[in-house]
């Protein structure tokens, strides 16, 4: 293949380490200047490709690219913009290929979750049909940990470490206050469809009685009476109760609890926030004093407490993506392959995108205890390696030093605009 | 003074470093075994003294005590239990002295905020009147940073570092998503009466345009229209808007916004959570997509990102408290004295408790910009040194290792029970 440029874009919700993968893609491409010209990034994800708003990463000094390794969020911007089937979104796919052709782009690296794996596959297929074959490699990323085939997803390990650390710390706080003040603490975490992040909270509890005492998973229908009975039992045994709850907790009608009726003074539904609902329930029914926290973006942006394992894996998949592309592997995704648990060993594998796209990996039922309120030893054995090691960012003035890129635009070549 | 035992108790809301002060008190006392016998701690704070539920810290190995340096929360339990004036609470004060006498306690170290400084002073006064003089030293602690005389309060610097780091990180996240998704992010932080923690969020913004863009202080009456106009302007200039809001934000009627009308499906007032109210307002009035987070206990328990300066000061006041007591200084509190800003230099001073008790240090108006939405350079110069340096806890299995003490009770000597 003649020397061609590469395109890289970030997709969907960002993570503490998606930029680590970006760093790896760019640093690895820079080592192969004989084969890869420039790496262009999409400003605000795939939208940047559709609107021909490309960023020339070659204008960034090596120190800026190295800084991405430590920087949370998406350095080029990400987007929630789903390309549908080839039939429904043909104009979008054709536009992508038109832009790639205009900028001599022969490699497409798409850094995202399930939807972007699907897009990546379709770009590969259509580009072939259109006589401009592009090597398409998906770089896995999602805090939801729900991509198939890969043992885990870069981004998840760092959220997992953050929530486990945070709920452990809050547990020490609540334990101190329980005699005269707060008895129940509720931490709400992400994961609308799968309980991986909720499960990670459970890692903080290593011995009988250690918080969190109760986990509320999106996989387990919320049973108010059973839950309240467990809270009472926990208070009786330990004097306090720490609860981790998924934002995706549902009642028996399949409705999200967070949408089950909290209204403001004007009668508007209040969106988001299952933690206050659980906390209010504890107050109304058990008359216990509570506190609650909603970690929201703090959890997926918490680069200051990233998992070293996660950072290494995020870098490894970015590097592998470029190496796979250089070998002409098309419509693939590098994966994390677990070789052993203790000691934890992993390597990089390869999955065909047709096996990845549009498939979600749910949490196995046997990762949740029979009563539905905690994780099993099997779950712990799976999760524990993913939070191992610290990878602190540099600090200045007492705060982490994160990188803001120059994000210099590539001059446009096409005469047509494209509406997104 | 003959060799006597010491009593130590933790009071009010705990912090990431109150145990660091406990560690210092115990380690320093252990170095003066000629003068101080045992250090007894109050289980659940002063309640432990009233109920004669004392903990014998001499039963803890040195490694456990050293571990306190890294452990958030209150290792002996804290409480929200306010002793009032001598007239109103005379029975309590007399009981304290009765318990101290029974256990040969000659030193009283009380680790807390303004209320406990007042209690400490009264114990000193009454013990003298009752002919059993106790040397009383208050050890300052409060995330609210509102004690007078001392330049800052141990506990505050670590919360400040946590909120500034967290809002910076979330800012990187929101910036990535703003094109197609979240435009506005709201982080709620503690500080019901004074805006010190809200102000600390502002440290994350070091250059024009960097988040947080708007801070909502408890000192500044919330003006909905002015606020929304500022959000719109920020979105226009930067594409997104990050907001730090104090839990103590009030409307023009002096009412907490968090209590201004959010109701659940049953019409019950929902307590707590000004962030969702601000976020809802942005959605209703500006039709912008938002996310919000409530850090709650996570912020004051976040030992994993404690400020090294704060840890050093928390240790120093604990150590100084014992040294002051050994010199016979009574009814005093060690303080932090700022010697210079750049480089930051500090030393330990001494304040008389009569000058400390029942006085709150509010944030000066000139620490807040004229428009009321951010911090001034003067505020930054004050705050910045307090978050300098990292002091990471040890890790095991990917999580911080915190210490749980044995908390062995001291056999009771009194025949009377005391109801609290």
Residues B216-248: pLDDT tens digits? 999 999 999 999 999 999 999 999 999 999 999
Residues of B in contact with A68 (CB under 8 A): none
Task: Say yes or no for a CB contact (<8 Å) between B270 and A262.
Answer: yes
Segment B408-413 mean pLDDT:
98
- Could you tell me if B297 and B195 lie in one domain? yes
A263 touches chain B (CB under 8 A): yes
Q: What is the pLDDT of residues B132-152, one digit of tens each?
A: 999 999 999 999 999 999 999
Q: How many CB atoms lie within 10 A of CB A164?
A: 29
Return the residue of A nearest to B185 by Cα.
Answer: A297
Q: What is the pLDDT of residues A24-41, one digit of tens each?
A: 999 999 999 999 999 999
Q: For every residue of chain A, which 3-state class applies, written as one string? A: CCCEEEEEEECCCCCCCHHHHHHHHHHHHHCCCCCEEEEEEECCCHHHHHCCCEEEHHHCCHHHHHHHCCCCCCCCCCCCCCCCCCCCCHHHHHHHHHHHHHCCEEEEEEEECHHHHHHHHHHHHHHHHCCCCCEEEEEECCCCCCCCCCCCCCCHHHHHHHHHHHHHHHHHHHHHHCCCCCCEEEEEECCCCCCHHHHHHHHHCCCCCCCCCEEECCCCCCCHHHHHHHHHHHHHHHCCEEEEEECCCECCCCCEHHHCCCECCCCCECCCCCHHHHHHHHHHHHCCCEEEEECCHHHHHCHHHCEHHHHHHHHHHHHHHHHHHHCCCCCEEEEEEEEECCCCEEEEEEEEHHHHCCCCCCCCHHHECCCCCCECHHHHHHHHHHHCCECCCCEECCEECCCCCCCCECCCCCCCCCCC
The whole-number pLDDT of residue B2 equals 82
B268 has pLDDT over 90: no
Instruction: Please classify residue B257 by burial: count the beta carbons closer than 10 Å to its beta carbon, then call 0-12 exposed, 13-18 middle and 19+ buried.
Output: buried
- Greater model confidence, A272 or B192: B192
The whole-number pLDDT of residue A407 equals 98
Residue A281's CATH number: 3.40.50.460
To the nearest whole angstrom, how far is the Cα of A363 from the nearest Cα of chain B? 21
B84 has pLDDT over 90: no
Average pLDDT over chain B reads: 95
Return the CA Rg of chain B: 23
- Could you tell me if B291 and B315 lie in one domain? no
The whole-number pLDDT of residue A344 equals 97
The whole-number pLDDT of residue A269 equals 55
Q: Is residue A62 part of a domain?
A: yes
Residue B68's CATH number: 3.40.50.450
- Could you tell me if B258 and B325 lie in one domain? no
Of B80, B165, B264, the CB nearest to A181: B80
Complex ipTM, two decimals? 0.97
Segment B408-416 mean pLDDT:
96
B251 touches chain A (CB under 8 A): no
Segment A283-304 mean pLDDT:
96
A1 has pLDDT over 90: no
Q: Is residue B370 part of a domain?
A: no
- Could you tell me if A145 and A193 lie in one domain? no
Segment A313-320 mean pLDDT:
98
A58 touches chain B (CB under 8 A): no
Give A271's pLDDT tier (boundaries 50, 70, 90).
Answer: low
DSSP state of B250: B
Instruction: Please classify residue A258 by burial: count the beta carbons closer than 10 Å to its beta carbon, then call 0-12 exposed, 13-18 middle and 19+ buried.
Output: buried
- Could you tell me if B161 and B284 lie in one domain? yes
Task: Say yes or no for a CB contact (<8 Å) between A291 and B296.
Answer: yes
Residues contacting B245, CB < 8 A, separation 6+? B186, B187, B188, B189, B198, B215, B216, B274, B275, B278
B78 touches chain A (CB under 8 A): yes
Q: Is residue A372 part of a domain?
A: no
Identify from B82, B294, B312 which residue to disrupt to test chain A contact, counting A C-beta atoms within 10 A and taking the largest count: B294
Q: Which of residues 272-311 of B touch A (CB under 8 A)?
A: 272-273, 275-277, 279-280, 283-284, 291-298, 300-305, 307, 309
B317 touches chain A (CB under 8 A): no
Of B74, B77, B303, the CB nearest to A169: B303
- Greater model confidence, A167 or B269: A167
Catalytic residue list contains A144: yes
Give A2's pLDDT tier (boundaries 50, 70, 90).
Answer: confident
To the nearest whole angstrom, how far is the Cα of B323 from the nearest Cα of chain A? 27
- Could you tell me if A120 and A24 lie in one domain? yes
Q: Is residue B147 part of a domain?
A: no
Domain boundary (B301, B327, B347) is at: B301
Q: What is the pLDDT of residues A277-292, one digit of tens each?
A: 999 899 999 999 999 9
Average pLDDT over chain A reads: 95
Return the residue of B nearest to A381 by Cα.
Answer: B397
A47 touches chain B (CB under 8 A): yes
Return the CA Rg of chain A: 23
A259 touches chain B (CB under 8 A): no
To the nearest whole angstrom, how far is the Cα of B413 from the nearest Cα of chain A? 23
What share of residues in chain B are helix, strand, coil (percent, to 5)? 40, 20, 40
Q: Provide the domain limits for residue A255.
A: 156-301
Q: Is residue B278 part of a domain?
A: yes
Q: What is the pLDDT of residues A43-74, one digit of tens each?
A: 999 999 999 999 999 999 999 999 999 999 99
- Could you tell me if B212 and B294 lie in one domain? yes
B11 has pLDDT over 80: yes
- Could you tell me if A256 and A396 lie in one domain? no
Phi and psi at residue B258, to the nearest 5°? -65, -15
- Could you tell me if A161 and A280 lie in one domain? yes
How far apart, in Å, are the Cα atoms of A41 and each of A32, A108, A315, B190, B261? 17, 10, 17, 39, 46
Residue percentage of chain A with pLDDT more than 90: 90
Q: How many residues does chain A have?
A: 420
- Could you tell me if A332 and A245 lie in one domain? no
Tell me: is residue B143 an annotated ligand-binding position.
yes
- Could you tell me if A195 and A319 lie in one domain? no
DSSP state of B9: E
Give A84's pLDDT tier (boundaries 50, 70, 90).
Answer: confident
Q: What is the pLDDT of residues B320-332, one digit of tens each?
A: 999 999 999 999 9
Segment B37-56 mean pLDDT:
98
The number of folded domains in chain A is: 2
Of A74, A276, A297, the CB nearest to B270: A276
Segment A122-150 mean pLDDT:
96
Residues of B in contact with A161 (CB under 8 A): 398-399
Give A201's pLDDT tier (boundaries 50, 70, 90).
Answer: very high
Segment B360-382 mean pLDDT:
97
The whole-number pLDDT of residue B192 equals 87
The whole-number pLDDT of residue B143 equals 97
A82 touches chain B (CB under 8 A): no
Q: Is residue A365 part of a domain?
A: no
Domain boundary (B301, B322, B341) is at: B301
Q: Is residue A204 part of a domain?
A: yes
Give the closest residue to A168 by CA, choosing from B279, B346, B304, B409. Answer: B304
The whole-number pLDDT of residue A192 equals 87
The whole-number pLDDT of residue B86 equals 87
To the nearest whole angstrom, how far is the Cα of A388 from the nearest Cα of chain B? 4
Residue corresponding to tokens 């001499």 = B58
- Could you tell me if A265 and A124 lie in one domain? no
Q: Is residue B43 part of a domain?
A: yes
């Amino acid at each position: 293949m003649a020397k061609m440029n590469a395109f890289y874009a970030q997709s969907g919700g960002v993570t503490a380490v998606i930029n680590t993968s970006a760093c790896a893609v760019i640093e690895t491409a820079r080592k192969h200047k004989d084969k890869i010209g420039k790496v262009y990034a999409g400003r605000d994800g795939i939208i940047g490709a559709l609107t021909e708003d490309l960023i020339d990463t070659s204008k960034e000094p090596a120190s800026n690219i190295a800084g991405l390794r430590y920087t949370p969020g998406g350095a080029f911007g990400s987007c929630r913009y789903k390309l549908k089937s080839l039939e429904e979104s043909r104009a979008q796919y054709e536009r992508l290929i038109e832009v790639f052709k205009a900028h001599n782009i022969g490699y497409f690296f798409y850094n995202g979750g399930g939807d972007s794996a699907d897009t990546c596959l379709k770009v590969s297929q259509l580009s072939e049909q259109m006589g401009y074959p592009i090597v398409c490699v998906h770089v896995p990323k999602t805090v939801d940990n729900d991509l198939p085939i890969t043992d885990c997803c870069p981004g998840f390990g760092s959220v997992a470490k953050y929530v486990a650390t945070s709920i452990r710390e809050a547990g020490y706080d609540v334990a101190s206050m329980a005699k005269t003040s707060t008895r129940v603490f509720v931490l709400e975490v992400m994961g609308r469809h799968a309980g991986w992040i909720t499960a990670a909270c459970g890692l903080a509890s290593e011995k009988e009685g250690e918080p969190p005492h109760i986990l509320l998973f999106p996989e387990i229908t919320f049973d108010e009476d059973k839950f309240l009975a467990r809270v009472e039992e926990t208070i009786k045994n330990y004097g306090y109760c720490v609860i981790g709850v998924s934002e995706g907790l549902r009642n028996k009608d399949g409705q999200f609890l967070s949408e089950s009726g909290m209204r403001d003074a004007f009668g508007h539904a209040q969106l988001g926030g299952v933690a206050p609902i659980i906390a209010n329930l504890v107050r109304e029914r058990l008359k216990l004093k509570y506190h609650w926290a909603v970690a929201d973006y703090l959890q997926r942006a918490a680069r200051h407490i990233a998992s070293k394992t996660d950072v290494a894996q995020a870098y490894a998949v970015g590097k592998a993506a470029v190496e796979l592309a250089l070998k002409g592997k098309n419509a693939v995704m590098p994966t994390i392959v677990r070789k052993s648990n203790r000691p934890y060993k992993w390597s990089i594998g390869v999955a065909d995108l047709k096996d990845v796209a549009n498939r979600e990996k749910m949490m196995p039922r046997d990762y949740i205890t029979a009563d539905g309120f905690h994780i099993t030893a099997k779950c712990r054995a799976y999760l524990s390696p993913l939070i191992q090691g610290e990878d602190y960012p540099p600090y200045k003035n007492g705060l982490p030093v994160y990188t803001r890129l120059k994000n210099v635009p590539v001059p446009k070549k096409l005469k047509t605009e494209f509406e997104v």
